[in-house]
Structure 1
Amino acid sequence: MPSSPLEPLELPGSGDWLTWVAEHGEGQLAEAAREVALVKSGPTDADTVLATWNRAETAIANAEAAHLWAEVHPDAAVRDRADELSQQVQKFVTELGQDRDLFAVFDGLSADGLDDGAVRVLEHTLRDFRRAGVDRDDATRDRLRELSEQGVKLSQDFGRNIRDDVRSIRVAPERLAGLPDDYRAAHPAGDDGLVAITTDYPDLVPFMTFASDGEARHELALTQNNVAWPANDQVLQDLLAVRRETASLLGYDSWPDLDTEVKMIGTGQAIADFIERISSASAERAAQDKGVLLARKQVDQPGADEVEVFEFRHYGELVRREQYDVDGQVVRTYFPFEQVRQGLLDVTGRLFGLEWTPVGRDEAGTWHDEVASYDVGLDGVRIGRIHLDLHPREGKFKHAAQFDLVKGVAGHQLPEGVLVCNFNRGLMEHDEVVTLFHEFGHLVHHVLGGQGEWLRFSGVATEWDFVEAPSQMLEEWAWDADVLATFARNAAGETIPVDLVAAMRRADQFGKGIYAAHQMSYAARSYYFHAGPNDDLTAFGDELQRRYSVFPPLEGAHMHCAFGHLDGYSSGYYTYMWSLVIAKDLFSAFDVDDMFAADVAGRYRDRVLGMGGRKDAADLVADFLGRPYSFDSWTAWLAE
């Protein structure tokens, strides 16, 4: 990794964010326009053109960071202005993709004498022009521009409706029976004598796991599955229509065919085939898992003949407690949030040779006082900066994701990434710890992959159906007893017992068949919603759930309205399971008895994470494993 004297982006902190966001975004767009003009009118040798284009793409990416502020800034006016900027950026990008004069410059370049990176940039750029419709007639290109603008606005509406629609139920205090003491203490009754339980994750997850009151869990599940209903039903229909028409105008049979052309999987039909393959492989195991859940439910409700989708967490917890001797309420006492966050930094620092140096809010200039910032060092040199925004608040993104703030370009700008989650400020469930490790994997990938020359391949810039694999692999470190012993301690200072971790690992084997099957029900929604029109998305989604999940649909629910991945992942939600297949194969190279072995960790860091998108994902995996990836490790995992 090259040394870097570069400085992080200067954020306004307690200053005027509204002005800063506007000036930064518009300034970067103006810079991009200047560089594009140079491409069209300046020197015509390939090296100069590509270097100038790299500067243009860098400025565009900097302007695209407006999307982050739309999701996290506490000021609604800043969020709205950021949405407007995102629309401007996408309009600019769409116009560039259809600029025939600009395309002619690239189409006329010779790859002779270019290094591999420059050749890859040229190839990808020409491919992008074609996918944008540069070779279509004027009327088609005009319509494609209209569709792009509509799509951006619809995507923003879809996400905003989810983000702003926090719902709640109100229950009597006695209906919190079964929940941990700290949860009940944090949820006092209001003036009406009732307790509010919201659909935000820190409220939702413990309630669905531990609450003894089945009717209350049902009520909260239905409330959560109707977030953004009915508004997002029509928004999603309109968005799907925009995508179908876009694909048709570009000459593709379907949106999934357009979308998968640049992914590892290759074709839309391959998604359908993958869904069937995973469904078939997991069917027997899923049925066995559900049988165990049903038997446990029948202890409480003799004669019960079905387990509902919202009961999986609760009865799964009871099975783990009673049959595997794992009590989630005991487990969580070993995971206070502050300890987990520091433990994560220590673990990843040791694993990848990274140094995390805290940066105060005044210096970092962040948007909220709960955001924790760190400079990232390697071999004593700062190579990036990260920001951890990990707790819920009004108007903030409701799920868990890594957002780019700055994409790294060697000699030009440091990579900066933001981790946006919604965790409890107190004790964490172990599955939340696993989620934090997972999402932090994206952040590490962004920084380590942001040390190259080309913006196009900076950070998490591989094919989109590979990006989850490195993060899913990092989850393994959240299950290792020796790793957990470095930070998992209860209030008495006692380290999590080795035998408890072993029991947790055994218990984790339970339910994986259900998990795989239910993931395919999500993947099927994602794919088939995009593969063709459907008048009733609720009914069609319910049909797909009956086909692929072991759980029946939740009557009265409209989960697609709150399923945010239908926007960002569009037809590609299969990515999570596709990446898990690869993640299990990647992990097979590590020694489970020495999770910090420097040789394999360093090779993985440099050959996979540090490469960003400079090679195709399949080649990155082969470079690391010494062979092509296979399903073998995933199949063995499912059978454990």
Structure 2
Amino acid sequence: MRKCMKPSSFFLPVTTASVATLLMLMLNQAAAQDAQRPLIPLLKAEDIPTLCDSTLTTLRKRVSALEKLSPAHAKDSKKVLTEWNDLQIAFEDLQGPVDILNNVSPDAKVRSTTEACLIDLNKLSTELFQNEKLYARFKAIQPVDPVEKKLRQDILYSFDDTGVSLAPEKRARMKAILDKLNELSQEFARNIRDNNQKLTFTPAEVQGMPEAYLARAKRDDKGNYLLGFDYPDYKPFMESADNSDARRRYQIAFANHGTPKNLPILKEAMDLRHEMATLFDLPSYADLVTRRRMVKNPQTVDKFLTEVQTAVTQLEIKEIEELRVFKSETLKTPLAETRLDRWDSEYWQQKIKQSRYKVDQEALRKYFPTDAAVPWILSVSSTLYGVEFKRVEVPVWHPDVQYYDVIDSSSKKRIAGIYLDLFPREGKYGHAAAWATRGVSTLAHRTPVSTLVTNFDRNGLNSDELETLVHEFGHVLHGVLSNTKYVTQAGTNVELDFVEAPSQMYEEWARRKESLTLLAGFCKSPCPTIDDALLQRLTAAHNYGRGIRYARQLLYAGYDMAIHNDKADQEQPLAVWQKMEGATPLGYVPGTEFPGQFGHLMGGYAAGYYGYMWSEVLALDMLSRYNGKLMNPEVGHLYRKDILSRGAEKPAGEMVSSFLGREPNSKAFFDEISGQRLH
């Protein structure tokens, strides 16, 4: 997922005395030549309120100045769009650092104060897009080229969707709803992020876990293991722990680690979103948001999800029955008395993969040491896209964090910066994501910065985690290789149902011989090389469980649409989930409250989770352009030019068609589900 931002020159930790100076540097960034390296400032909790308030005041002054443009300039598209670009940069210069520190700062006080600042920034954003005078400015201008035309249209959409054209009382209600939704989103994320609960497991309950896992796990004074909700703790346990009751207990706790507080928050958000749609005389929130995406309406989403359901239903049933039979044979229990529970699925899938394909995810960590995997994906990206990554020592928020300059290989100029925050710690965002911390603007001589946040095992990655690294780095590249004129068109500011496509396409580089065999060259001490036999087994193991995997994505997408349809105000989120998960072959697990930790629903993907599979349609189709030669820099450079560099300057469908030389289609996606796609 992307986070889905920015300062100037070399920022040191901020002191109270330097706040005013920092503020001026940040607000002047858009007008200054970006000759020095832009870094994320290491803000202190006590300085953030002052910085936030001062910036908001200055931003409001900029808005006022844009309102009062002289008649000679008011219809000048270049003047109006340049002033807007400068305003958005000033806004982003505060939002970017505050947003990333809210998710990664080791200081709980920083996380708290940045949260309050983000809420205030979002309130200002709503005010901005309800400003009738500014709306009139953009309606009056005449774009001079296709980039300006699309930018103007996107800006007008933002004004319209925020309610600028509604009657005054409806507009006021719209603002109240948006402000409240922003507060609820922050609260929902905080309840998950700050849950530091540890589950206690006896030595008997962790039988089957790798020695390296147990060696790094925390223990109490009785020798029991203390495990939390970070993925390096949870996922390997669900795949390897032999004790079924322990897996059940862990899965229920994990599913509930945002509740009980988050279910009422989600319900309130559902009701507010439904009310928002009624303000526009639309039947549902899904109708409201999909009209700006590739699909255009919920009916297209429903049709697509029905096609996926047709493709996966019988395959999921077949795979679950295979797992049940395998469990019966392994445990020597009568088949009629053997059942497969949800907490069994990952465990027995791994057992089948070990038995059939000799693939042990934990054993793969020696093939993919973490300190080799990172320089490897940097090198692969360098070859494909004509860039270099230079490690630079800069001030960072935690000693684990790395920073790299991105250098264009042809011009030898620094074009961007990247932060890598790879390992778990208390209070940090618990999944994997890329933040577009600072967007590019060639008009303002502004270079981008992206931040990669993961929670990997320090010693090595399994194949799934390697795929995650490559996926999220795809988002990073989308940000730092963007080369747009205007900051609001930078990088991942594309339609939501396209934003995952570049990352999903890049996942293939984590599965193919020509890229994977390069990884061993980055090991500090000799590590085994992926040979043809192992690669074939890895491919077979990856393909196994497609039905279960896509059916789960289908459930998530279907649930998301169900709680944002025209009956959403009459539904309870847990009841809908119980009904929908209960209708699946593995059924609903009593006592679980999964929607309370389904962060996508409050983090920008509401009525948009279908976009993961919709994007994959485009990702797998774009992959065909490489014609099986993934390390071909000629195609890589074309992809950089047609997709990555353009950001949102063109509609996603047009960019994909330009890259492919034809209209996109879904054949490769459905071949992937059926196992017929050629790798």
Q: Pick the TM interval, shorter chain.
A: over 0.9
State the distance in 2 between where 1:169 and 1:11 align: 35
State the distance in 1 between where 2:54 and 2:380 align: 39
Shift of 1:8: 3.0
**Corresponding residue of 1:7:** 36
**Corresponding residue of 1:404:** 436
Residue 578 (structure 1) aligned with residue 611 (structure 2): no
Unaligned 5+ segments in structure 1 are none
**Corresponding residue of 1:614:** 649
Tell me the SS of whatever aligns to 1:620. Answer: helix
1:56 is matched with which residue: 87, 91, 96? 87
Tell me the SS of whatever aligns to 1:554. Answer: coil
Runs of 4+ in 1 over 4 A off after TM superposition: 19-28, 488-492
State the distance in 2 between where 1:305 and 1:554 align: 17
**Corresponding residue of 1:295:** 325
State the distance in 1 between where 2:309 and 2:463 align: 27
State the distance in 2 between where 1:107 and 1:341 align: 47
335-344 or 472-481: bigger deviation? 335-344
Residue 516 (structure 1) aligned with residue 569 (structure 2): no
Shift of 1:108: 2.2
Shift of 1:31: 4.3
Tell me the SS of whatever aligns to 1:155. Answer: helix
**Corresponding residue of 1:604:** 639
**Corresponding residue of 2:45:** 18
Q: State the Cα deviation string for residues 173-193 of structure 1 (Å, max 9, x = none).
A: 132221111112112642123
Q: State the Cα deviation string for residues 70-101 of structure 1 (Å, max 9, x = none).
A: 11111111111111111111111111111112
State the distance in 2 between where 1:539 and 1:463 align: 31
2:61 is matched with which residue: 27, 34, 50? 34
**Corresponding residue of 1:465:** 497
Change (3 A) 1:619 1:12: closer
Q: State the Cα deviation string for residues 456-477 of structure 1 (Å, max 9, x = none).
A: 2111111011010110010000
Tell me the SS of whatever aligns to 2:264. Answer: helix
Q: Which amino acid aligns with 2:396?
A: T
Shift of 1:370: 0.7
Residue 416 (structure 1) aligned with residue 449 (structure 2): yes
223-232 or 405-414: bigger deviation? 405-414
**Counterparts of 1:419-434 in structure 2 under 5 Å?**
419-434=452-467
**Corresponding residue of 1:115:** 145
**Corresponding residue of 2:376:** 343
Shift of 1:19: 5.2
State the distance in 2 between where 1:561 and 1:583 align: 30
State the distance in 1 between where 2:310 and 2:618 align: 19
State the distance in 1 between where 2:671 and 2:314 align: 15
State the distance in 1 between where 2:401 and 2:54 align: 26
**Corresponding residue of 1:95:** 127
Shift of 1:392: 1.2
Q: Which amino acid aligns with 1:382?
A: R
Tell me the SS of whatever aligns to 1:64. Answer: helix
427-436 or 298-307: bigger deviation? 298-307
**Corresponding residue of 2:13:** none
573-582 or 530-539: bigger deviation? 530-539
1:173 is matched with which residue: 189, 199, 203? 203
**Corresponding residue of 2:297:** 267
Q: Which amino acid aligns with 2:531?
A: P
256-265 or 128-137: bigger deviation? 128-137
Shift of 1:215: 1.1
State the distance in 2 between where 1:528 and 1:46 align: 42
Residue 447 (structure 1) aligned with residue 517 (structure 2): no
Shift of 1:166: 3.2
Residue 478 (structure 1) aligned with residue 482 (structure 2): no
Change (3 A) 1:394 1:188: closer
Tell me the SS of whatever aligns to 1:589. Answer: helix
18-27 or 128-137: bigger deviation? 18-27
State the distance in 1 between where 2:536 and 2:528 align: 17
Tell me the SS of whatever aligns to 1:533. Answer: helix
Tell me the SS of whatever aligns to 2:388. Answer: strand
Q: State the Cα deviation string for residues 406-430 of structure 1 (Å, max 9, x = none).
A: 1111143210011111111122221
**Corresponding residue of 2:314:** 284
Residue 504 (structure 1) aligned with residue 538 (structure 2): yes
State the distance in 2 between where 1:581 and 1:478 align: 18
State the distance in 2 between where 1:197 and 1:537 align: 28
Shift of 1:25: 4.2
Residue 538 (structure 1) aligned with residue 571 (structure 2): no
State the distance in 1 between where 2:44 and 2:440 align: 23
Contact map agreement 1:534 1:540 (CA 8 A) in 2: no
Tell me the SS of whatever aligns to 2:626. Answer: coil
**What TM-score, normalized to structure 1?**
0.94
Q: State the Cα deviation string for residues 591-610 of structure 1 (Å, max 9, x = none).
A: 32x32112211111110111
State the distance in 2 between where 1:174 and 1:28 align: 56
State the distance in 2 between where 1:263 and 1:23 align: 38
State the distance in 2 between where 1:98 and 1:420 align: 34
Tell me the SS of whatever aligns to 1:328. Answer: coil
Contact map agreement 1:25 1:62 (CA 8 A) in 2: no
Residue 71 (structure 1) aligned with residue 106 (structure 2): no
**What TM-score, normalized to structure 2?**
0.89
Shift of 1:18: 2.7
Contact map agreement 1:334 1:495 (CA 8 A) in 2: yes
State the distance in 1 between where 2:290 and 2:35 align: 36
Unaligned 5+ segments in structure 2 are 1-32
525-534 or 436-445: bigger deviation? 525-534
**Corresponding residue of 1:630:** 665
Contact map agreement 1:459 1:612 (CA 8 A) in 2: yes
State the distance in 2 between where 1:305 and 1:520 align: 27
Q: Which amino acid aligns with 1:80?
A: S
Residue 333 (structure 1) aligned with residue 360 (structure 2): no
Contact map agreement 1:199 1:220 (CA 8 A) in 2: no
Q: State the Cα deviation string for residues 108-135 of structure 1 (Å, max 9, x = none).
A: 2233xx1221122212222222111111
RMSD: 1.8
Contact map agreement 2:436 2:492 (CA 8 A) in 1: no
126-135 or 600-609: bigger deviation? 126-135
336-345 or 37-46: bigger deviation? 37-46
State the distance in 2 between where 1:612 and 1:23 align: 33
Q: Which amino acid aligns with 1:519?
A: Q
Q: Which amino acid aligns with 2:66?
A: V
Q: State the Cα deviation string for residues 17-50 of structure 1 (Å, max 9, x = none).
A: 2355445544544443333222211221222111
Q: State the Cα deviation string for residues 373-419 of structure 1 (Å, max 9, x = none).
A: 10011121111001011111111111111112211111432100111
Q: Which amino acid aligns with 2:191?
A: N
28-37 or 150-159: bigger deviation? 28-37
2:413 is matched with which residue: 349, 359, 381? 381
Q: Which amino acid aligns with 1:267?
A: N
State the distance in 1 between where 2:630 and 2:387 align: 16
Tell me the SS of whatever aligns to 2:406. Answer: strand
Shift of 1:172: 1.4
Residue 555 (structure 1) aligned with residue 590 (structure 2): yes
**Corresponding residue of 2:185:** 155
Identical pairs, percent: 30
401-410 or 467-476: bigger deviation? 401-410
Shift of 1:493: 3.1
99-108 or 600-609: bigger deviation? 99-108
State the distance in 2 between where 1:523 and 1:11 align: 35
Contact map agreement 2:267 2:572 (CA 8 A) in 1: no
1:527 is matched with which residue: 557, 561, 566? 561
Q: State the Cα deviation string for residues 503-526 of structure 1 (Å, max 9, x = none).
A: 110121111111111111111111
